[in-house]
């Protein structure tokens, strides 16, 4: 009897995750939509304002009709912060999440953007809480292709780091669909710095530190503008996540996200 009840609960949980996979590609975070709205008054030209308006209209249609915000539904990157009493304990979480992502693709009729069946990138860590929190972000490759890893001297100043990041954005030259959201990971190993940078993209709350404001200002001076057509609204937000570096080097990961920075975060047991 207990096994039957648990099986039913797991089936329900998988359905919930599959639903959030669909939501991730059809509903943009409210905070980001509001930030785009605030940018309308700062637009440098009627053209830039119209581009921003078209983005907002796109969000409205996608949410109303439950259709993807972008044709590239991407590769799903997922963080599972596993709670001590989570129903996900004692099962193969990677397999379970992968099945839920594939179910979401079928139910939502999402384009499969991989060379094989949808295979999410999954990070699992203990949360120290009772319940589990899941973060889902579909990574489209119009922007993912401009991700960067730099291995720097251990004494590299923030000014140098800022200039490198600004250079990366300049080199992208408007192709990753601005206005951008940019995640920065500093420290650790090469691989952990890159992971930090994409995790930073999921945590942009538009409450910027002094360094983040400085970086945001420098990037907006590039004048790529909304849609890459020129203007003032090149970047909407940045987030820096940092961990201690090795004494012999400093890793810097840079993720340039497009204006459609899709993120879903939810408490699994409360969903």
Whether residue 112 is found in the same domain as residue 153: no
Whether residue 173 is found in the same domain as residue 128: no
Phi, psi of 101 (to 5 degrees): -65, -45
- Burial code (b: 16+ CB inside 10 Å, e: under 16) for 113-152 equals beeeebebebeeeeeeeebbbbbbbbbbebbbebbbebeb
Whether residue 14 is found in the same domain as residue 106: yes
Nearest Cα neighbor of 150 from 132, 163, 137 is: 163
Whether residue 127 is found in the same domain as residue 241: no
CA 105 from centroid of its chain's CA atoms = 18
Whether residue 174 is found in the same domain as residue 151: yes
Whether residue 111 is found in the same domain as residue 155: no
Start-to-end CA distance of the chain, whole Å, equals 24
Whether residue 24 is found in the same domain as residue 108: yes
Whether residue 83 is found in the same domain as residue 173: no
Contacts of 75 (CB under 8 A, 6+ apart): 113, 114, 118, 119, 120, 121, 138, 139, 141, 144
The reported pTM is 0.93
Whether residue 106 is found in the same domain as residue 23: yes
Nearest Cα neighbor of 85 from 134, 15, 132 is: 132
pLDDT per residue of the chain (271 residues) written in tens, 0 to 9: 466 778 889 999 999 999 999 999 999 999 999 999 999 999 999 999 999 999 999 999 999 999 999 999 999 999 999 998 898 988 999 999 999 999 999 999 999 999 999 999 999 999 888 889 999 999 999 999 999 999 999 999 999 999 999 999 999 999 999 999 999 999 999 999 999 999 999 999 999 999 999 999 999 999 999 999 999 999 999 999 999 999 999 999 999 999 999 999 999 876 5
Whether residue 39 is found in the same domain as residue 62: yes
Whether residue 216 is found in the same domain as residue 118: no
Number of domains in the chain: 2
Distance (Å) of CA 242 to CA 42, 75, 187, 197, 255: 31, 25, 6, 9, 14
> Residue 215 belongs to what domain range?
141-257
């Amino acid at each position: 009897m207990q096994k039957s009840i648990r099986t039913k609960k797991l089936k329900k949980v998988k359905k919930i995750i599959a639903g959030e996979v669909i939501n991730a590609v059809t509903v943009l975070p409210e905070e980001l939509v509001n930030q785009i709205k605030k940018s309308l008054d700062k637009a440098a030209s009627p053209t830039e304002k119209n581009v921003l308006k078209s983005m907002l209209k796109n969000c409205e249609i996608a949410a109303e009709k439950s259709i993807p915000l972008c044709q590239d539904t991407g590769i799903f990157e997922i963080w599972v912060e596993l709670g001590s009493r989570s129903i996900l304990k004692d099962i193969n979480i990677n397999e379970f999440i992968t099945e839920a992502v594939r179910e979401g693709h079928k139910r939502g009729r999402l384009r499969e953007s991989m060379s094989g069946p949808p295979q999410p990138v999954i990070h699992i860590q203990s949360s120290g809480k009772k319940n589990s929190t899941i973060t889902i972000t579909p990574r489209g490759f119009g922007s993912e292709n401009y991700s960067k890893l730099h291995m720097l001297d251990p004494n590299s100043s923030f000014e140098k780091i800022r200039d490198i990041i600004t250079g990366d954005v300049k080199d992208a030259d408007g192709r990753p669909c601005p206005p951008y959201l940019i995640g920065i990971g500093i420290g650790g190993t090469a691989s952990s710095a890159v992971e930090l940078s994409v995790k930073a993209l999921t945590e942009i709350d538009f409450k910027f530190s002094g360094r983040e404001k400085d970086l945001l200002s420098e990037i907006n001076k590039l004048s790529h503008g909304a849609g890459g057509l020129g203007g003032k609204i090149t970047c909407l937000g940045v987030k820096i996540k940092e961990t201690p570096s090795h004494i012999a080097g400093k890793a810097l990961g840079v993720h340039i996200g497009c204006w459609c920075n899709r993120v879903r975060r939810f408490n699994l047991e409360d969903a």
